Amino acid sequence: MCIVNLTGTSPSNTFVFKDVKPLAAGGAIAVQGLFFTTARKVAPFHGSAVMASDGSVRLGLVVHSSADSTNDFTIAGITSVDFVGTVKFDSDGDFVPNGTLTMEPADCATVVVP
């Protein structure tokens, strides 16, 4: 499963989820995968997702990008089952959102991992 945040028509943030298990109302799953920006520096992420009784999904991720970038960061938001929606990010570690990303689905067959 792949999602992207677009700047114009180009992805500025790409998340590639690996081995995503199905979600059901009241259920939770672990998620993992890789992240990269237009700078093409790949970083791992992990987190979890839970589905509410109305079918909406709460997604939480930790992106470990400090090995090749300036900082690790977190992502949290309410999305659809395919993790599409607007999420908030905390890039300075104070657990207060620094901004939002609008995530859209992407065809994983077209995503080139650096």
Distance between CA 106 and CA 71 in Å, rounded? 25
| pTM greater than the 0.75 cutoff | yes
State the pLDDT confidence band at 79, using cuts at 50, 70 and 90: very high
**Distance, CA of 12 to CA of 24 (rounded, Å):** 30
Q: How far apart are CA 93 and CA 22, in angstroms?
A: 30
Residue 78, both tokens: 């309410």
Say what the pLDDT of residue 67 is.
79
